[in-house]
Chains A and B, each alone.
Chain A
Amino acid sequence: MKMTIFAKRTTKEIIRDPLAVLFGIGFPVVLLLLLSAINRNIPNDLFNIERLTPGVAVFGLSFMSLFSAQLIAKDRASSFLTRLFTTPMKAADYILGYALPLVPIALAQGIVCYAVAFLLGMKFSLSIVVALIMLIPISFIFIGIGLLCGTVFSEKAATAICGALLTNLTAWLSGTWFDLNLVGGAFKAIAYVLPFVHAVDMGKAAAIGAYADMLPHLWWVLAYGAALVVIAVATFRRGMKIS
């Protein structure tokens, strides 16, 4: 009950920030439109919409980190969280109240992204629905990072980490914009130790219905998602005691 009340507040805080909504939903759409336009004017099929969309959908989720990190960091800075710590809320109420509202927002962002891709020529199939559902476990990676950064860093630092650093990491190390084999070596090895490329490869496999190819990446995504959420929860609980 308390978690639901708090989750409603999280939802309102996020969706009533027009800039956040504009960037969260609009930026992936702009990327799709821009890269599709570029693709029409270059000889090779570098930004093929079928391969590009799952990557952009994952890239868009990096905004979930920004939303959650900013909200928690602001709540800490304004002492709103301090006030809440004196109410009968439990640690689980806070964590779930911050995290769960971001899952439907992530899903909505994915739906908008794929809807625009259909307008740009992507063919609809039932496997796209699977790709959309796969965005849910992926979103936990980004939500976990956001919870962690918001709990540990100031609003300025959390915004820089989740806004600039994470979006760049996701962009470069996910194989969304280019095939990682083109760089190879240590760059590719590092990318495959991180979750971003696995999330994109899983999305690409799901979108074309290659479910067997999806599975090895799914384990990486689930493991990273679970680990990040557990670390974020532990850090938040520790913060509650220390504060």
Chain B
Amino acid sequence: MNSSIEIKQLTKQYGAKVAVDRITLNIADGELFALLGMNGAGKTTLINMLSTITQPTSGDALLNGKSIVTEADQVKKFIAVSPQETAIAPNLTVRENLELMAGLYGFDKQTVKQKTDQMIQRFSLQPYEKSKSKTLSGGWKRKLSIAMALISDPKILFLDEPTLGLDVLARRELWAVIEKLKEKTTIILTTHYLEEAESLSDQICIMRDGRIKAIGTVSQLNEQAGTSKFEDTFIKLVEDGGQQ
């Protein structure tokens, strides 16, 4: 499988604090890649750099062969982000939010309508189509947020804590949505929910203090840590695992 993302010595420093420290890794095309770590591990900073929101201090990453440092405008054409917060326009309706995002990617009017209809159907948003997005529950806001990210048919999708604060049913529903996206889209996901990463991911990267502590499939990581439960694996690797 070809690499969709090639990260080379990517570093972000804020003054003396190193948020992401010389990360190097490859993510294959169509893979769901999870970033795990405690708060402040550098997951969101890494996603922000890859999605061109934050400029790296040094290093680079190639997304479908385009540099996030020198070709950020090109990269923006085929990526999408669903940030940690719901990131929707509160006084616009669900339909208008989707149309806005499609319009900003330069689609013509007819395509905007077509894509909006598709997203509304795909995420079962029909009952709320004409409701202002600020009136939706947390779960529906999250769904809308992900639908807004997907409306441009991104090749690479960044999901930052997509199920944060959702109840178990809403979370499972979103998992099903994410599951369906695999193969067509390369997904980079950050989460605090270990079972989410375990259930959805092809590969998991555990970060601590801006560095990679371990990387691999769930079974590879369990093997590396010498445990059978992923939660134990995570704790062991975060506390004393080897570094890249």
Contacts and interface: CB of A to CB of B under 8 A. Distances in A.
Contacts of A84: 104
Contact of B76 (A17, A86, A243): A86
A80 B88 CA distance: 6
A14 to B, nearest CB: 8
Q: Which of A1, A6, A80 neighbours the largest number of chain B CB atoms within 10 Å of its CB?
A: A80
Contacts of B84: 79
B81 A88 contact: no
Contact of A88 (B88, B96, B104, B148): B104
Interface residues of B, number: 33
B91 A86 contact: no
Given A12-B92, A16-B132, A86-B53, A79 B76 contact: no
B77 A88 contact: yes
Interface residues of A, number: 24
A79 B85 contact: yes
Given A83-B148, A86-B81, A78 B86 contact: yes
A48 to B, nearest CB: 40
A151 to B, nearest CB: 16
B91 to A, nearest CB: 4
A40 interface: no
A3 to B, nearest CB: 10
B96 A78 contact: no
Interface string A1-38: 11001100100110011000000000000000000000
Contacts of B85: 77-79
B81 A9 contact: no
B195 interface: no
Nearest to A241: B55
B106 A78 contact: no
A168 interface: no
Contacts of B206: none
B83 A88 contact: no
B90 A82 contact: no
A241 to B, nearest CB: 6
B100 interface: yes
A13 B82 CA distance: 21
A78 B91 contact: no
A2 B91 contact: no
Contact of A9 (B73, B100, B152): B100
Contacts of A83: 81-83, 87, 148-149
B51 interface: yes
A223 interface: no
A92 to B, nearest CB: 13
Contacts of A12: 89, 91-92, 96
Contact of A2 (B81, B88, B104): B104
Interface string B130-145: 0010000000000000
Nearest to B73: A88
Interface of A: 1-2, 5-6, 9, 12-13, 16-17, 74, 77-80, 82-89, 241, 243
Interface of B: 51-55, 73, 76-77, 79-92, 96, 100-101, 103-106, 132, 148-149, 152
